[in-house]
A and B are shown apart, each in its own frame.
Chain A
Amino acid sequence: MIRRAAVLVVVAGYALITLTVARGSLYDQSLVLTAACFGILAISLDMVAGMTGLYSLGHAGLFAVGAYATTLLNLHQNMGVFTTLPIVVIGTGGLGLIIGSLSLRVSGLYFAITTFIFTLVVGVLASDLSITGGLQGLPGPLFPNFPDSLTGLGSSVAWCIMLALALTIFLAWAIRRSALHPVLLAIRDAEPFAAAAGVRTAVVKIGLFGLSAALAGLAGWAFSFLGVVSPGQFSWNVSVSILVMVIIGGINTTVGPLIGAAFVSMFPAYVNFSALWQELLFGALFVVVIVFVPQGVAGLLAQLWRRLRPRAGAPAGITDDRPATSTAKAGWAGERVGGESPVAVECRGVTFSYLRPVNAVDGVDMVVRRGTIHGLIGPNGSGKSTLVNLIAGQHRPDAGTIRVNGADLAGAGPWARPRHGLARTFQTAVLVKELPARSNVAIGRYARVPHIAARAPVWPLLPSAHRDSRALAAQADAALALVGMGAWAGQRVAQVPHGVEQLTQLAAAAVSGSRVLVLDEPLAGLSQNEVDHVAAILRDLRDAGVTVIVIEHQVRFVFDVCDEVTVLSAGALVTSGPAAEVRENARVREVYLGQ
């Protein structure tokens, strides 16, 4: 009820502002509407730069494509402005998908460079082609007026552009509220973690850039009604200005890009300087802002708010509040994915080399029986982590097969693992620091919740999405409770101790519902108490029917906890079998235990 009232108030307020603008003077209109177009651009850029760390310098180019396409289609094909809208939006979106898929295969820097060059190319085309009217540009299409009965509403262009802006704000807000948002931040800060949770990171990035590009095209469409369309309005400096708007306002915030767009685009109207002084001031502003307030206005306010708010005291440390009853422990079993065959993971003749001809893993056979804790040990450089990375899909083997729950996954990427019932943790937990532990754990369920990415732009409108959000939070809280971290669920990961971070990671893997967990040195940096705690958790997991593969250096822990142990040395298998037997093996004592 309160929420509905709040929505109503916001919508009414926005409509009132729009009405004021639409009935205002032409000067005010052009000022506000230009700012609104840049608002759309800044929000669309923040979607990629803020949420996923993709610094696009192509937004001025996409903006130009939108504006020129609208103008030219109207001029030469006599298309109405509303007919051009879907063409422009889909066209620029498709352009974004193409640029994204070409450049994101390499790196983030390469993406920034490619998009930068795209803007340069569009600029050159716009000024050199005869169809675009050269440096003078072209007059934009006329926007149809309201019918007589609605003239009281004022300028129709104002309503149209403000509506486009509202749509953009809604999309960004919806994504921010969706279960995709933590996943996007994870792609930005902890890509391997996201991929291990089942996210096809490249596809999500490209798709998001496509959406962002489509919105930039929308901004161009809207902008073309404001007067002349000429190359000077879309130079590479504009790309940088949009980035600066995002940063001044506050990157990765809901209102920040809007504040930044309003400030940067209206600022020249309020200061009476010559063009050169204005430029100089702008350059100085870029540098000063990025050096002194990199978190932006909205970021500063959020920081202040966090400082002022009475803070609930942080939990004292790792408190063992794991539920004792077996019914609660059965929570681990959940709805498990993966077959029931007695073999959980089977490696046959797995060979991999980073640098030929040295094989980091050389023809290794390993069979992990279901329902066991399987230790993987060996001296440094013996190929343990490489083998685990092969099983988890970070690397692809040069030869050999890897079957997980019966499926041959040797050729599939890490994101395919959770669907086949395998989850992993990393030696050093890399999580999204700015999110609470709960949200980080929820990322682990990405593969289990259908169509998170596709539903994200309309998330708050879908009843199913609300259900999923609630379920995710509850499942994450339950998983954190099961690793004894229930008290930390609401704490931002930036503020938790190392041990909690490691256990959060473990909870994220466990919550995925996978029947096989691969843990790469889960004890790294933990105290003795915490080690015992982890041992108890692993036993709980096994008792719930989960198969655990664990790389570990602490021999006592391995022989204490593991049912079976595989020993590697110099990339080759030494032995594999029940823990007690392996312990007595002469070669193991020689190569590993040093006896």
Chain B
Amino acid sequence: MQIVLSGLATGAIYGLVAMAFAIAFYVTRVINFAQGQLLMVAVMVTAALSRAGWPTGVAIVAGLVAAVVFGALIYLLAVRPVLAFDRFSFAWLVSTLGVATILEAGAALIWGPTSRGFPTMLNGRPVHLLGAVISLQQVLAIAAGVVAVAAFELFRRRTLFGKLGMAIAADPEMASAIGANTQAVAVAAFALAGLLAGVAGVLVGPITFANPYIGSTFGINGFVALMIGGIERPAGAMAGGLLLGVLSQLANTEINSQASDWFPFVIVVVVLLLRPSGLFSGARWPRLRLARPS
């Protein structure tokens, strides 16, 4: 039980990052490879402001805002322009990885490449649950994962904006023909993805502390979770994250303490071979269609 619960807690973080990938992809068909770095931005900003004496709550909100703003900026500065030039349908791959490098190096320049403290939040408050002991912070992470999936699905199905997202995902040209502002929805999707990555950062900050390179770690794990769960459905991405978290935890205890370094890749390779569209996606991969700025 201990393994499952702490696995779920880590998995929820991976799942949030994977969901962030999936939401941005859902609307724009672009994988934002700087997603993990958005998590890092939230962590670093929160840590810096909290050290500067800001109340923890305010620092956290500022960190989340920073992730949201950077998310939107990535779309506007690095994704939209390259989608306009459609000969290289994968140009976004280079530009978003470029942004990832900029954010990581930038953070290391500003705050130094070493770890710094992060507000403790609810970490270190033990909870006894089903015969296992985990911290309240971990409980919060699992809860956040569940809430994020539920909220996103409600938002997608019940609000006009969410339906607009679905329409754009299905056919961007048709959606813009009926008057949808595809650009606004795309910016919103990137911002929302930034928020989710930011939330993941705030949840994991007390455990990992603030370090410019946690972005890569969680970005890669989130991406692996995304591949396991399937890129087409954000809820599937979360499921992939939870599964990855539990399995990694299992590998750590059953094989050796280094196993979580390579075990995720074993899982993802198996999944990619057996079911390329991911475990929790309904259909096969659709043809790649890119939203183009009109």
Interface contact B272-A284, CB-CB below 8 Å: no
Interface contact B113-A286, CB-CB below 8 Å: no
Contact A283 to B98, CB < 8 A, known contacts A117-B227, A294-B91? yes
Q: Scoring B residues 127 to 141 as 1 if CB is less than 8 Å from chain A, else 0, what string do you get?
A: 000000000000000
Contact A247 to B90, CB < 8 A, known contacts A108-B288, A117-B268, A276-B109? no
Interface contact A283-B100, CB-CB below 8 Å: yes
Interface contact A287-B98, CB-CB below 8 Å: yes
Q: Scoring A residues 500 to 518 as 1 if CB is less than 8 Å from chain B, else 0, what string do you get?
A: 0000000000000000000
Q: Among A15-23, A237-245, A566-574, which stretch is in contact with chain B?
A: A237-245
Q: Which has the most chain A C-beta neighbours within 10 Å: B102, B108, B224, B258?
A: B102
Q: Scoring A residues 503 to 538 as 1 if CB is less than 8 Å from chain B, else 0, what string do you get?
A: 000000000000000000000000000000000000
Query: How many of B's residues come within 8 Å of A, CB to CB?
Result: 44
Contact A287 to B272, CB < 8 A, known contacts A106-B285, A124-B265? no
Q: Does B95 contact A (CB under 8 A)?
A: yes
Q: A109–B227 Cα gap in the complex (Å)?
A: 12
- Shortest A50–chain B CB gap in Å is 10
Interface contact B88-A294, CB-CB below 8 Å: yes
Contact A286 to B101, CB < 8 A, known contacts A112-B93, A117-B265, A117-B272? yes
Q: Does A113 contact B (CB under 8 A)?
A: yes
Q: Does B94 contact A (CB under 8 A)?
A: yes
Interface contact A247-B94, CB-CB below 8 Å: yes
Q: List A221-273 residues whose CB lies under 8 Å from chain B.
A: 237, 240, 243-244, 247, 251
Q: Does A559 contact B (CB under 8 A)?
A: no
Q: List B240-275 residues whose CB lies under 8 Å from chain A.
A: 258, 261-262, 265, 268-269, 272-273
Partner pick for B276 among A53, A110, A282, CB 8 A cutoff:
A110
Q: Does B146 contact A (CB under 8 A)?
A: no
Query: How many of A's residues come within 8 Å of B, CB to CB?
Result: 39
- Shortest B164–chain A CB gap in Å is 24
Q: A243–B88 Cα gap in the complex (Å)?
A: 12
Contact A284 to B90, CB < 8 A, known contacts A106-B276, A276-B109, A279-B105? no
Contact A280 to B106, CB < 8 A, known contacts A53-B89, A113-B227, A128-B261? yes
Q: Scoring A residues 106 to 126 as 1 if CB is less than 8 Å from chain B, else 0, what string do you get?
A: 111110111001001100110
Closest A residue to B112 using CB positions: A276
Interface contact B105-A283, CB-CB below 8 Å: yes
Interface contact B87-A290, CB-CB below 8 Å: no
- Shortest B105–chain A CB gap in Å is 4
Q: List A272-312 residues whose CB lies under 8 Å from chain B.
A: 276-277, 279-280, 282-287, 290-291, 294
Interface contact B95-A286, CB-CB below 8 Å: yes
Q: Does B161 contact A (CB under 8 A)?
A: no
- Shortest B273–chain A CB gap in Å is 7
Q: Which has the most chain B C-beta neighbours within 10 Å: A120, A128, A282?
A: A120
Interface contact A55-B93, CB-CB below 8 Å: yes
Interface contact A294-B273, CB-CB below 8 Å: no
Q: Does A102 contact B (CB under 8 A)?
A: yes
Interface contact A114-B95, CB-CB below 8 Å: no
Interface contact B272-A291, CB-CB below 8 Å: no
Q: What residues on A are CB-neighbors of B101 within 8 Å?
A: 237, 279-280, 282-283, 286
Closest B residue to A105 using CB positions: B276
Q: Does B39 contact A (CB under 8 A)?
A: no
Q: Which has the most chain A C-beta neighbours within 10 Å: B89, B105, B220?
A: B105
Interface contact A291-B106, CB-CB below 8 Å: no
Q: Does A476 contact B (CB under 8 A)?
A: no
Interface contact B102-A283, CB-CB below 8 Å: yes
Q: What residues on A are CB-neighbors of B287 within 8 Å?
A: 107
Q: Which has the most chain A C-beta neighbours within 10 Å: B77, B258, B265?
A: B265
Interface contact B100-A110, CB-CB below 8 Å: no
Q: What residues on A are CB-neighbors of B89 within 8 Å?
A: 53, 108
Interface contact B265-A109, CB-CB below 8 Å: no
Q: What residues on A are CB-neighbors of B277 within 8 Å?
A: 106
Interface contact B88-A251, CB-CB below 8 Å: yes
Q: Among B10-18, B78-86, B198-206, which stretch is in contact with chain A?
A: B78-86
Q: Does A57 contact B (CB under 8 A)?
A: yes
- Shortest B290–chain A CB gap in Å is 10
Q: Does B3 contact A (CB under 8 A)?
A: no
28 pairs, CB–CB < 8 Å, chain A vs chain B: A102-B273, A107-B285, A108-B89, A108-B90, A110-B276, A110-B285, A113-B31, A114-B272, A121-B269, A124-B261, A128-B261, A128-B262, A237-B101, A244-B94, A247-B91, A276-B105, A276-B109, A280-B109, A282-B98, A283-B100, A283-B102, A283-B105, A284-B102, A285-B98, A287-B98, A290-B95, A291-B95, A294-B91
Interface positions of A (Cβ within 8 A of B): 53, 55, 57, 102-103, 105-110, 112-114, 117, 120-121, 124-125, 128, 237, 240, 243-244, 247, 251, 276-277, 279-280, 282-287, 290-291, 294
Interface positions of B (Cβ within 8 A of A): 31, 77-78, 81-82, 85, 87-91, 93-95, 97-106, 108-109, 113, 220, 224, 227, 258, 261-262, 265, 268-269, 272-273, 276-277, 284-285, 287-288
